[in-house]
A and B are shown apart, each in its own frame.
Chain A
């Protein structure tokens, strides 16, 4: 529906991406594409390289080799900085400022329109906490301030590193509804999680383990091809089916 331009570059195109950290390889030549206007889930156990991949897409990761192109431009290039929103795993907001002060600053840096502040505060459901110091908020609320900051200026691509960790089920459902709305409006979302049950909410899945991609498919196709009952089981069966791939 939204992404009706067939010749458009994909939102993200990664080819042969390798990253080494502290002398050890973290990503081993990844290839993947993320289509526009979709939600792609990046799933895998803790420490498998999800954050490193996301940082490479945002352009803050020093990479060893390969290429990462985002919205048709090299990742991290200056023209992308107000088109890509990034939410780090740990909420990155100023704890000694209020919610509104935090967002007002980030909006000024992004050059976001004036009405954006109220919009993003409403989107993450923090209307009652505008003037609370971030320090006084719960962990989940602080995470939502961090998410709200990434929504400022309505970026075309949102990179979200475990945005639902520590949230109660109702809030998680609300956030996933928000993600779906954003995708329906044409935004592309790449969302990492180590909770496999969030997989069913995504259009496409990237399953990662030890710095390699195990699978890159729709949730339904993954379940079909592995014959598994849920994504957890599909992940296990892929790990068992690919020992050669893993030790390559």
Chain B
């Protein structure tokens, strides 16, 4: 692990994004547009958006970061730049943390915009502290990034990488408690939802909606998200082999 190389990598990834303003716009604007859409979709049921809004603040960063990272990393693998980097004195962690820093910064801005919109103009009422909502949203963004890095190892083409979104994230989305309370699911599915990280993101947001202050349960949720992120990053690092067949 080398700070100079990690920062150079983060700067390079952000540089690539800078040349792609359309992607930046989509990253930042799409979650806000979807939140607004949902707000007025539930126009006739005032309680519904208050329940779903915060959960979505946790889900959007994860979805978007997953997609962006898996495609970016896949490109790195297929264009040969990854092989070039691995012949250079760049540690695998330098590369992964560089991506983490760059996309983490993007996740930060995205979460800030989406939270400001939801808690401000869209009038979502949460009892917990705003900074914690923000922290969970950023944590989810980083989790999405780590999962994206990991699955990119199993995709040979960009078509496959995009298919991992429904394959890896959709089951989590269905089981995370957004559509049906987790307690009401069939036992096997509840167990499954217990081990899927997105469940903790939604749990954390739900807790923050209902209870004021910094509850220990929320901190446990955050720790689970952080743990899952580190696990995915570790597994992702293991897929970056200097020697390949």
Contacts and interface: CB of A to CB of B under 8 A. Distances in A.
Interface of A: 21-22, 58-62, 76, 78, 81-82, 84, 86, 88, 90-97, 101, 105-106, 108-111, 133, 149
B8 A76 contact: no
A82 B88 CA distance: 6
Given A88-B84, A92-B79, A94-B16, A110 B89 contact: yes
Nearest to B7: A108
B88 A81 contact: yes
Interface residue range, chain B: 20 to 34
Contact of A92 (B20, B80, B242): B80
Interface string B16-33: 100110000000000000
A228 to B, nearest CB: 36
B224 interface: no
Contacts of A133: 19
Contact of A81 (B9, B11, B87): B87
A82 B89 CA distance: 6
Given A81-B88, A91-B80, A94-B12, 4 more contacts: A61-B244, A81-B89, A105-B9, A109-B89
A78 B84 contact: no
A61 B243 CA distance: 5
A76 B242 contact: yes
Contact of B84 (A82, A86, A95): A86
Given A62-B244, A94-B12, A108 B79 contact: no
Contacts of B4: 108, 111
A111 B4 CA distance: 9
B83 A109 contact: no
A101 B88 contact: no
Nearest to B16: A96
Contacts of A105: 8-9, 11-12, 15
Contact of B243 (A59, A97, A101, A109): A59
Contact of B80 (A22, A78, A88, A111): A88
Where chain A touches its partner, the secondary structure class is loop
A61 to B, nearest CB: 6
Contacts of B90: 109
A176 to B, nearest CB: 23
A59 B87 contact: yes
B87 A97 contact: no
B51 interface: no
A31 to B, nearest CB: 21
B90 to A, nearest CB: 5
B81 interface: yes
Interface string B234-245: 000000001111
Interface centre among A82, A105, A106, A133, by most B CB within 10 Å?
Answer: A105
B203 to A, nearest CB: 38
Contacts of A61: 243-244
B205 to A, nearest CB: 34
Interface string B80-116: 1101111111100000000000000000000000000
A60 B88 contact: no
B190 interface: no
A86 B15 contact: no
Among all A-B residue pairs, the 7 with the closest Cβ atoms:
A92-B80, A108-B8, A81-B89, A105-B12, A92-B84, A62-B243, A96-B16
Contacts of B88: 81-82, 106, 109-110
A74 B11 CA distance: 33
A81 B89 CA distance: 5
Contacts of A111: 4, 89
Given A95-B79, A108-B8, A60 B244 contact: yes
Contact of B86 (A21, A60, A110, A149): A60
Contact of B8 (A21, A60, A93, A109): A109
